[in-house]
Amino acid sequence: MDLLVIADTHLPVRARALPAPVWQAAEAVDVVVHAGDWMDVALLDELLARSRRVIGVYGNNDGADLRARLPEVARAELDGLRLAVVHETGQARGREQRCDRDFPDVDLLVFGHSHIPWDSVTEGGMRLLNPGSPTDRRRQPYCTYVTARVADGALADVEFHKLPRRT
């Protein structure tokens, strides 16, 4: 099972549309995971139309229209992998301990908010993954997104993709 993991798209404020490589991945994978701050319900509708499956949450910048359609925390089992998605996990210091405490039954926690790519494993063995942002790099050198594969309850082939800087 192939995944696309994105967050903090901030459309149409930070960009008019998702970059072409992100759309290509969305159309090719089995599941798109979005960790919030969509800002426009049109992106949700377009992802639902162009993707096989979308698992998403709302973020702190998402309005009532997105909050009415998306949960604050999403959970799913993907080929035996226990996934949770949330927008915010708090500051980096102590993140692993908080996530182990708050999500004890999860193998993979996808989060966003910071726009900072993150990939770590907690003491309890949970993988924490923030894909960064494909549209708003903030203080990061590149806009980013993640692709990965799930097989037999395990996450594999996690790849952070750098998008070219816009001129």
Q: Which is nearest to 33 in space by CA: 130, 136, 135, 156?
A: 130
Domains held by the chain: number: 1
Domain of residue 147 covers 2-163
Confidence check: pLDDT of 10 > 60: yes
- pLDDT at position 166 is 60
pLDDT tier, 167 (very low <50, low <70, confident <90, very high otherwise):
very low
CB neighbourhood size of 153 (10 A): 12
CB 60 within 8 A of CB 88: yes
3-class secondary structure, 33: strand
pLDDT value at 123 more than 70: yes
CA distances, 138 to each of 21, 64, 115, 144, 162 (Å)? 20, 25, 7, 11, 14
Residues whose CB falls within 8 Å of the CB of residue 110, separated by 6 or more in sequence, listed in order: 5, 7, 33, 35, 83, 84, 85, 86, 129, 130, 131
Of 49, 63, 118, nearest in space to 88 by CA:
118
Q: Look-up: residue for tokens 């980013």?
A: 144
> Residue 143 — pLDDT band, cuts 50, 70, 90?
very high
Average the pLDDT over 78-90 and give the result. 97
The more confidently predicted of residues 166 and 156 is 156
Q: Each residue of 43-55: b (16+ CB within 10 Å) or e?
A: bbebbeeebeebb
User: What mean pLDDT, rounded, does the chain reach?
Assistant: 96
Look at residue 16 in the predicted model and tell me its pLDDT.
Answer: 87
| Average pLDDT of the segment spanning 20-38 | 98
Are 123 and 97 in contact by the 8 Å Cβ rule? The answer is yes
